Structure 1
Amino acid sequence: MSATNPVENLQTLIRCPSVTPTEGGALSAIQAMLAPLGFRVERMVAQAEGTPDVENLYARIGDDGPHLMFAGHTDVVPPGDEASWSHPPFAADIADGMMFGRGAVDMKGGIACFVAAVARHIEQHGAPNGSISFLITGDEEGPSINGTEKLLKWAAEKGEAWDACLVGEPTNPDVLGDMIKIGRRGSLSGKVTVHGVQGHAAYPHLADNPVRGLLPLASALMDPAFDAGTPEFPASNLEVTSVDVGNPATNVIPAKATFAFNIRFNDTWSADTLKAEIIRRLDEAAGDQTLRAGREPVRYDLTWNERPSHVFLTRNNALIASLSEAVEKVTQRRPALSTTGGTSDARFIKDYCPVVEFGLVGQTMHMVDERASVTDLETLTEIYGSFIANWFDHARNG
């Protein structure tokens, strides 16, 4: 099989049932595609206590010169109820111009197209005028502990260094060519536990209802807005994601109440300054007497999730221009430069080199009948091929 065909590449990858954290044959399939092209391929297993072992792949062609990395993941979310799919989720069936399968757009499709683009480049021009590497993890859809972060550190300790990176996540909301991601908002999560005194609902003076304390604390985190946004980022936004009192009885005032929250934040904040602002708001709201007249300030505990995702913005003009020019050349669309959406493994890569993201249309990712347009697979391969040529030209000639 020739690796120059993105449709065949994607069919091969979808037929590997690599539900996170299982490798499922997907990394072996990529190794089989890249080795004949001259890539040196290494497999690395990362481990951490309390998490499953994860196998990852690193491949490189070239020894010096400008070094371009392509990053992605072969692990996929579970298919859910397979009977609900119109085509088996790991069959890679093609119908009405669409390829069906779990991971088709998120993000085996991006990998399949970049492999094809590199294979075509080598076939037409020989080895790149520099180095190209693939950094592929099996832990993006899982805890993201034994994947890209550790693979980057492992490779860097072996002497690897990169000048730029493209992540093949599905960035386009509607049509291929819509959007390039040039940054991501940060993400910070926490849980607030409000302490009260349990008692009978008919005798509230003998108890202290923690729900009355929870309400002003939660409200203080949602209003006022944390900021108005920046030219590159939307306004930071906090959502209360769960509220729980663990109380099945309707006539009992509970002893405690908790709420969890998540905030997606822009570069107005760092994780540390945002934590300080959240604590300030909670402390101020703890003294609110509106629902607790005559009571002492609310007693609460705040715990943070261990791993905040840090905000970043890529300002590397050569990288952004190389990709934008390629997208416009192939699609005749000028892509928007965006920082919207959730987090991705780009949050780890940005500590090593400038990084942008561009891939397929993401409308069906994680859904039943996830699918990619066969036409889009060829178009994305052409975009990636043009981008490779553009980037090396910029890197060599400025």
Structure 2
Amino acid sequence: MTTSSPTLDLTRELISRRSLTPDDAGCCDLIGERLSKLGFKLEWINSEGVINLWATLGSGAPLMILAGHTDVVPTGPLDQWNSDPFTPEIRDGILYGRGAADMKSGLAAMVCAVERFVKARGKFKGTIAFLITSDEEGVALFGTRYVVEQLKARGVKPDYAIVGEASSNEQLGDRIVIGRRGSLNGILKVLGKQGHVAYPHKVENPIHRFAPALAELVATQWDTGNAHFPPTSFQVSNIHSGTGANNVVPGECQVVFNFRFCTESTAASLRERVEAILKKHTLRYELDWQLSGEPFLTRQGQLIEAAAKASQEISGVKPELFTGGGTSDARFISPWGAEVVEIGPINDSIHKLNEHVKVADLDRLSTIYERTLEQLL
């Protein structure tokens, strides 16, 4: 049983830092110190209290970005953890701690892969860059999104990017994420007229008014998907109304909904179609839209080929090229013009109580990153 290795040790150091989003808690300082010893130039592109590290080594093309986040989601009830979430603990070959899978092990594996690669190769073709943020699990406005905007303005053009999100399904390396659906949120307020339930002719019930529109929204086929993505889905996550009294018709009804949309639709087209349905039902309403990210898809190319070859070599299985799951910072990097993939540990425990990763997978994941770099640089 491996109880110490560079990747394991760094993962434990990162887990022990209480980096609840958007607090970096010194994680980037720790990583930056390691990278500076290799000759990386460190630049802090911080905004609104969010720590963002941009570190580069080498020159010219191709520019390979290794991307990730140091922030983690809240722990949930501490009494339901089997050990302190910020005190990494190994039990039966499993490393437990908040961020173990999402995504401090990925960051540690990337750093250690680059340490080995640089020491073994000395000079290499192109540039290696780290883009690390503490604002991925939160609003994601001042992290990778912000850094990309700043670097675009300088004319920086990436060729490849690997995001260390937990992408594997049942065993390490069995999936490589090559795309993600877009995410569009709507916060709708349907307006009515409050009054006594005994006088329906004097009120306008916003719940009743919205019900037929909701039925149409649920029944609408937004698109049929394509070879890479399932059809776009519409889901209501919350409906709230009422005054707290059972004899009062409320004056408004609040609805929160989300689209997970594929490349057959756009945020603009979905907004237009929703508002057309609301107007068709003559609703009085207020609607705020929040776009978390457009869908993206990396087409078959050198990065996918290199990553798939490395994953299969180390894991022993041919990886599935996958486009499911939630959003990640890849949604900000892909429109920048880079080929982007996500490769990381098994994702079964992310955001859960007793988050964990297999100790044996840590060095293997780091080797996957190293082998991918060797093929492309």
Decide whether the 8 Å contact of 2:261 with 2:295 is kept in 1. Answer: yes
1:319 equivalent in alignment to 2:303: yes
TM-score by length of 2: 0.94
Amino acid at match of 2:343: F
**Following the alignment from structure 2 to structure 1, what is the Cα–Cα distance between the partners of residues 119 and 163?**
23
> What residue ranges of structure 2 are gaps of 5+ in the alignment?
none
Q: Contact between 2:181 and 2:295, CA under 8 Å: does it hold in 1?
A: yes
Aligned position for 2:188:
192
Conserved in 1, the CA contact under 8 Å of 2:190 and 2:254?
A: yes
- Aligned pair in 2 of structure 1 residues 156, 267: CA closer, same or farther (>3 Å)? closer
Corresponding position of 1:294: none
Match of 1:96 among 92, 99, 118: 92
1:161 shift after superposition: 2.7
- Find out whether 1:18 has 2:19 as its counterpart: yes
1:337 match: 321
Bigger CA radius of gyration: 1
| 1:159 positional shift | 4.8
Contact 1:79 1:89 in 2 (8 A): yes
Measure the CA separation in 2 of the matches of 1:299 and 1:65: 54
Identify the residue that residue 118 of structure 2 maps to in structure 1: 122
Distance in structure 2 (CA, Å) of the matches to 1:6 and 1:79 = 23
Query: Gapped runs of 5+ residues in structure 1?
Result: 48-52, 287-297, 393-398
Write the distance in 2 (CA, Å) between the matches of 1:157 and 1:215: 47
Q: Counterpart in 1 of 2:366?
A: 381
Matching residue of 1:43: 44
Match of 1:189, SS state, is strand
TM-score, normalised to structure 1, is 0.90
> Per the alignment, in what secondary structure is the counterpart of residue 45 of structure 1?
coil
Picking from 355, 361, 366, the partner of 2:351 is 366
Q: CA deviation at 1:169?
A: 0.5
Q: How many residue pairs end up in the alignment?
A: 373
Q: Which amino acid aligns with 1:35?
A: S
One-letter identity of the residue aligned with 1:313: L
| Alpha-carbon distance in structure 2 between the residues aligned to 1:365 and 1:326 | 24
Aligned to 1:60: 56
Q: Distance in 2 between matches of 1:181 and 1:377?
A: 19
Q: Which residue of 1 aligns with 2:293?
A: 309
Which 10-residue stretch deviates more, 75-84 or 57-66?
Answer: 75-84
Check the 8 A contact 2:184/2:290 in 1, yes or no: no
Q: CA deviation at 1:198?
A: 2.1
- Deviation larger for 197-206 or 32-41: 197-206
- Runs (4+) off by over 4 Å: none
The answer on whether the counterparts of 1:54 and 1:147 sit within 8 Å (CA) in structure 2 is yes
**Once the 2 structures are TM-superposed, how far is the Cα of residue 257 of structure 1 from its aligned partner?**
1.6
Q: State the alpha-carbon separation in 1 of the partners of residues 96 and 306 from structure 2.
A: 31
Equivalent residue runs for 1:70-149 within 5 Å: 70-149=66-145
Specify the SS of the correspondent of 1:129: coil
Structure 1 match to 2:252: 256
**Secondary structure of 1:18's aligned partner:** coil
Deviates most, 104-113 or 144-153: 144-153
Q: Answer yes or no: is the 8 Å Cα contact 2:192–2:284 preserved in 1.
A: no
Overall identity of the aligned pairs, in %: 37
- Compute the displacement of 1:69 (Å): 0.5
Secondary structure of the corresponding residue to residue 106 of structure 1: helix
Tell me whether 1:164 sits opposite 2:160 in the alignment.
yes
C-alpha offsets along residues 22-80 of structure 1, whole Å, 9 cap, x if unaligned?
A: 12110111012111112111222212xxxxx1111111110223211101000111222
Deviation at 1:377, TM superposition (A): 0.5
Residues in 2 aligned to 1:369 and 1:4: alpha-carbon distance in whole angstroms:
22
Q: Give the residue type in structure 2 aligned to 1:123.
A: K
Post-superposition Cα deviations, 1:240-275, rounded to whole Å, max 9, x if no partner, equal: 111111321111112222212111011111111111
The verdict on how the C-alpha distance between 1:220 and 1:133 changes in structure 2, with shifts beyond 3 A counting, is: same
Instruction: Map residues 199-238 of structure 1 onto 2, 5 A cutoff.
Output: 199-238=195-234
Letter in 2 for 1:115: V
Deviation per residue, 1:64-109 (Å, 9 max, x gap): 2321110100011122232322121111121211111111111111
2:271 paired with 1:275: yes
